[in-house]
Amino acid sequence: MQKEYTVTVYTEDRIGITNRICVIFTRRGINITSLTTAETEIPGVYKFIITVISEKEKLVKIVGQIERLIEIHRAFVHEEDEVVYQELALYKISTKALQNGNIELLIRENNARILTITEDYFVLEKTGHQQELIDLQAKLAPYGLIEYSKSGRVAIIKWSRRFHDHLKELEQQRPDNLKQATYSEHTEVSAEEESI
């Protein structure tokens, strides 16, 4: 069944790695709906958080193909309830709108905050799940929304141990160590597999 999944990929810092990962999705005709990447707590190791609408079975295979790449440490596919995630949106609105008392209420009710105000416009920021951000966009539209920009997903995996523990283990096990592939389900976690 098609639905939204979060794919997380731990990589080495290397030019072109985004390309290498994206090509694997492209080849199977899967559209990436959002992609966020940043350095993790371990220097030199990056985490990609990718959201896609696809089928679990397909994604499990894709994750296997991603893990095959040389600079990839691990890759996982997660159901929505396996990650804690947020997205961020910025809204640029005409300053004139502030003369309308309703907008202040709207900002409070939606836990948004004002980042900056100029003579012509002000910028709102809100974090939340995608639908909340889209809903706020719709509510702000009548007040003269000039521009809207949303980030990709930032996610924490509920069942993960700290990744650098895993890296330390790898270093200790050198050279005969193992990327313990979980064949059937990357998301079914046994105690042994808890270390990313």
Partner 1 sequence: MQQKDVLPMKPEPAEKRAAATAAPLNITGSEAVIRSLIAEGVETIFGYPGGAIMPIYDALYDFQKEVHHILVRHEQGATHAAQGYARTSGKTGVVFATSGPGATNLVTGLADAYMDSTPMVCITGQVAAHLLGTDAFQETDVIGITMPITKWNIQVTRPEDIPGAIAKAFYIAGSGRPGPVLVDITRNAQVAKFDFEYKKCDYIRSYRPVPKLDPEAVAAAAELINNARRPYIFCGHGVLLSGAEKELIQLAEKAGIPVASTLLGLSAVPVDHPQYVGYLGMHGNYAPNIMTNECDVLIAVGMRFDDRITGDVSQYVKQAKVIHIEIDAAEINKIIKADVAVHADAKTALEALLKLVKPAKHDEWLQGFREADKQEEEKVSKKELYPAEGGLKMAEVVRLISERTEGKAVLVTDVGQHQMIASRYYRFKDPNTNITSGGMGTMGFALPAAMGAKVGTPEKEVVAVIGDGCFQMTLQELGTIYQSEIGVKIVILNNNFLGMVRQWQQLFFDKRYSSTEMTNPDFVQIAKGFFIPGKKVTDRADITAAVDEMMSHKGAYLLEVVVEKEDNVFPMVPSGQPIANIRLE
Size of the residue set binding partner 1 (CB under 8 A):
30
For position 72 contacting partner 1 by CB under 8 A, the verdict is yes
What single-letter DSSP state applies at residue 34? E
Joined together, the tokens standing for residue 56 give 């679990």
* Cβ closest to partner 1, residue 7 vs residue 97: 7
Among residues 140, 158, 157, the alpha carbon closest in space to that of 149 is found at: 140
Which pairs from 177-181 meet CB under 8 Å and 24+ separation?
A: 179/67, 179/74, 181/64, 181/67
Q: Coil, strand, or helix at residue 14?
A: coil
Letters for 11-50 (x = contact with partner 1 by CB under 8 A, - = none) are: xx--xx--xx--x---x-----------------------
Q: Of 66-74, 79-87, 125-133, 147-155, which part binds partner 1 (CB under 8 A)?
A: 66-74
Indicate which single residue of 114, 154, 170, 189 sits in contact with partner 1 (rule: CB under 8 A).
170
For position 162 contacting partner 1 by CB under 8 A, the verdict is no
Q: Which one-letter amino acid corresponds to residue 143? A: Y
Joined together, the tokens standing for residue 120 give 């012509």
Q: Of 85-93, 119-127, 131-139, 164-172, which part binds partner 1 (CB under 8 A)?
A: 164-172
Phi, psi of 133 (to 5 degrees): -70, -40
Contact positions toward partner 1, by CB under 8 A? 11-12, 15-16, 19-20, 23, 27, 60-61, 64-65, 67-68, 70-73, 167, 170-171, 174-179, 181, 183-184
